[in-house]
Amino acid sequence: MKPMLPALAGVLTLVTTVSTGAMTAALAEDCNDQASVCFTAQGGDMDLIVDGKPAAVLVDGDADQAVLRVARDFATDLERVSGREALFTADYNEVDGPVVIIGVAGQSTLIDGFAEAGLIDLSAIEGGWEAYSITVVENPLPNVPEALVIAGSDRRGAVFGTYDISEDIGVSPWHYFADVPAEEHENVFITAGTRDDRPVVKYRGLFINDEDPALGSWAREKFGGVNSGMYEHVFELMLRLKSNYIWPAMWGKSLYDDDPLSGQLAHDMGIVVGMSHHEPLMRAHVEWGRHGEGEWNYNTNPEGLQAFWRDGMERSKDFDKVVTIGMRGDGDEAMSEDTAIGLLEQVVADQREIIADVTGKPVEETPQVWALYKEVQDYYDQGMSVPDDVTLLFADDNWGQNRRLPTKDLDREGGFGVYYHFDYVGAPRSYKWTNTNQIEKTWQQMDLAYRRGVEDIWIVNVGDIKPMEFPLDFFLAHAWDPEEMTPDAVEAFPAEWAAETFGDEHADAIGELMTRYSQYAARRKPELMNAETWPIGTMNGDSLTRGEYDIYVDEWQALIAELEAVKGDLDEDQLSAFFQLVEYPILSMANIYELYRATAWNRVLAAADDPRANYFADKAEAAFTRDAALADAYHQLEGGKWNHMMAQPNIGFVDWRGPDEDVMPEIIRVAGDTPDAVRFDGKVEPAAMLIDATAYDRAVPAGELEWAAIANLGQFGGGAMIATPQGRPATTVEDGMRLEYDINVETAVDVTVGVRMSPTLDTIGEEGVRVGVSLNDSPVQVLNLDLIPHCCGAERQEQVDWDAAVRDNGFTLSAKFEDVGAGTHTLKLWRLDDNIIIEHLEIASN
């Protein structure tokens, strides 16, 4: 239809035009900060590498294994950057020149001696959790003119402080898992002074899950299994990313039972091990089939289960861990309907007796977590008692929306955590193949959790780790310091990540590629796509008119062109990492769009007996073949290092289980000559005028609440609006917090206003989240986004709506206004509840 609101035509372009205002990437060096890396000499700085010669690395000979390991790694990192071997020693008499000294306050003779002599001040980290202090000291030892002293409040603090310097000098945390080459420098200096840091979230972790056929097959080929050989690389990656907590791979696997060295290795390196939400007392569920006796039923087999759990605690009693307590049904199924809350409370009481007995210390001294996952959340809501020292772990809906966040017991000793998903197997559709997560949405949900008091555990399901490198990096950076991850910092993150990974020269361009990839990929997970996902255009004589599908394909092709321009300027040794982190995700997702768009046109044209159907049949077949070729190219990287990693089927899903192998969509060929090309001319005009939420005319705050534009959040590039700070109570129309949009109507009409929102859930447990809509001074219409997750078939409208919302990664609520007169009007959106994300407005006549 012809646009009826011509005054908004200019705004419409905002919806389909990608922002080019990416923030300039920050340099890895900051010569103005104290005790920081700088590549040019400054007065009073320390020579870390001079003319290619690195400083020595000194550590106490009796240091903790985690400290010894990171010190050796740092010596290796110095060699990676300088090209020359760095001396690693526990004897300061061997040192002649600048030195890096690594240790733990209260455990290191060297560091404690410096503190007693007044050479370093450790008061800022004393008694802290994983805190570290980095100080440049002059003449601390004979023959040592200057030293870089990295002191941890505990062993992980020393590890994180050391890897912090490693990253700043040019060694990526992804040097193994994405083959990112180290930057080479002849000269590296550390500025004078001291600085310290510490995490805000206590346990910052990842969950390896759904790991077959990709990571599991890869590990079996390269290491003989998901064992200590593989986990050594995983643990190092985690520590370099300042992560400390893992739920290990659990699809038919057990970290402790498959390879006893894995548990010891985790402890020695400083990794805290937990088990997933349904695996209590350090036993992987697969072990019940191997070693359990009787049925998985506490009513009928408490003795068998207690013995099973006791063995789990015995073998891990000397290791760092967070113990999962509670119980679900066999194999991560819901408990039976007749399960009483009292029984679960008894299970936990008995489990805690085992914990205290095995550890020989009060149960409160062993960290524990109880996951409020699916039906267990209902038990908690109904009053289930949870010991005060236990961390309550809330969960998202498996699709990136927090289900519930703390509303009671806010001062509990054990605090709260969140279990989040970048990967999922289950209804309404599994998604395992590629990264479809927007860091902006992840930030919004985790910032909300933080503002609601969740500071003890942040853990994310990352599937195979690859290809979730980018969102995982962001998630852990956010967890380290949620206060620093402001909306501006979120916007800058892609370019900063690109600078750290590929250097400053192309950081802005690569950051923009990652941002736009994330937007485009978030429109629909590929497992949910088919030829009917979006409308194609229409036949118009000898040409075709572009529809929504066609426009999206064009956007992907434009992104590929920009990718190729950047790739051509990269160094040869960067191309493998670029393919893994940037090129493969973009090419493979663009190809999926081309496959299904071509299939859609093939079927429409074949129904009209149009030979152009054959052209699109060829296109579809080529795309299907290309998908396999791209995976094969990935598997051949680095001499086959990543074989199997992209083996996950991703074409032809019809239910949540997915096919065992990719399934070519059905195509149709017709009689006639196949044309060499097909011409597109024009596009189908939208039925409604679209206004980006960020294109408001006025934003009215209320008290401490303000409107914030979150750049790039959403599917179209214009960003989205939220109220900040998040986590605040509901407001009323009388509070006056609103966004105003001036619109012009040429003739009197009835108008429907659609408010397009990113899916969010009612995290308080009431009846949805509300936004108000009014036109001029009309009564406010209250729209309610009430989405209810489910696992096994929608039975209520709210569950049907949730299916649609996670499928489309958005949901539209509508308000109708009758007989809107010609002229200028003010459309108002009112903040009523927290956790509302407004992407754009859709305005149409009735």
Q: What is the enclosing helix (H) or strand (E) of 624?
A: helix 612-640
pLDDT bracket for residue 373 (50, 70, 90): confident
pLDDT at 285: 92
Of the residues 197, 224, 243, which one is the last residue of a structural domain? 197
pLDDT at 333: 55
Q: What is the enclosing helix (H) or strand (E) of 502?
A: helix 487-502
Whether 149 is in a domain gets the answer yes
Q: Same domain, yes or no, for 615 and 480? A: no
Of the residues 197, 218, 248, which one is the last residue of a structural domain? 197
pLDDT at 20: 31
Q: Same domain, yes or no, for 679 and 691? A: no
Mean pLDDT over residues 79-87, rounded? 98
Length reported for the chain = 846
Q: Note down the domain range covering 605.
A: 510-683
pLDDT at 328: 82
Q: Does the pLDDT value for residue 294 go beyond 70?
A: yes
Q: Same domain, yes or no, for 679 and 736? A: no
Query: How far is CA 194 from each of CA 149, 229, 541, 841, rounded to the nearest angstrom?
Result: 9, 37, 72, 50
Of the residues 683, 707, 729, which one is the last residue of a structural domain? 683
pLDDT bracket for residue 6 (50, 70, 90): very low
Q: Same domain, yes or no, for 768 and 832? A: yes
Mean pLDDT over residues 388-402, rounded? 97
pLDDT at 377: 83
pLDDT bracket for residue 4 (50, 70, 90): very low
Q: Same domain, yes or no, for 191 and 293? A: no
Whether 34 is in a domain gets the answer no
Choose the weakest-confidence range: 27-36, 223-232, 568-577.
27-36
Q: Same domain, yes or no, for 738 and 672? A: no
Q: Same domain, yes or no, for 710 and 639? A: no
Burial class (CB in 10 A: 0-12, 13-18, 19+), 350: middle
Q: Residue 698 has what DSSP assignment?
A: E
Residue 432 CA to residue 649 CA, distance in Å, equals 9
Q: What is the pLDDT of residues 140-167, one digit of tens each?
A: 999 999 999 999 999 999 999 999 999 9
Q: Does the pLDDT value for residue 263 go beyond 60?
A: yes
Whether 622 is in a domain gets the answer yes
Identify whether the C-beta of residue 413 lies closer than 8 Å to the C-beta of residue 771. no
pLDDT bracket for residue 687 (50, 70, 90): confident
Q: What is the enclosing helix (H) or strand (E) of 460?
A: strand 457-463
pLDDT at 281: 98
pLDDT at 338: 53
- Is the dihedral angle over the CA atoms 59, 61, 62, 66 positive or is it negative? positive
Q: Same domain, yes or no, for 480 and 544? A: no
Q: What are the helix (H) ranges across 341-397?
A: 341-359, 375-381
Q: Does the pLDDT value for residue 18 go beyond 60?
A: no
Residue 329 CA to residue 296 CA, distance in Å, equals 7
The CATH number of the domain where 250 resides is what? 3.20.20.520
Q: Same domain, yes or no, for 669 and 569? A: yes
Q: What percent of the chain has pLDDT over 90?
A: 89
Residue 634 CA to residue 156 CA, distance in Å, equals 34
Q: Does the pLDDT value for residue 13 go beyond 70?
A: no
Residue 486 CA to residue 711 CA, distance in Å, equals 11
pLDDT at 2: 28
Per the structure, the count of domains in the chain is 4
pLDDT at 9: 30
Q: Residue 106 has what DSSP assignment?
A: T
Whether 496 is in a domain gets the answer no
Q: What is the pLDDT of residues 486-532, one digit of tens each?
A: 999 999 999 999 999 999 999 999 999 999 999 999 999 999 999 99
Q: Same domain, yes or no, for 43 and 107? A: yes
Q: At what angle do helices 584-607 and 548-567 cross, to 10 degrees?
A: 150
Q: Same domain, yes or no, for 584 and 460? A: no
Q: Same domain, yes or no, for 658 and 724? A: no
Helix/strand/coil for 234: helix
Burial class (CB in 10 A: 0-12, 13-18, 19+), 767: exposed
Whether 334 is in a domain gets the answer yes
Residue 320 CA to residue 266 CA, distance in Å, equals 8
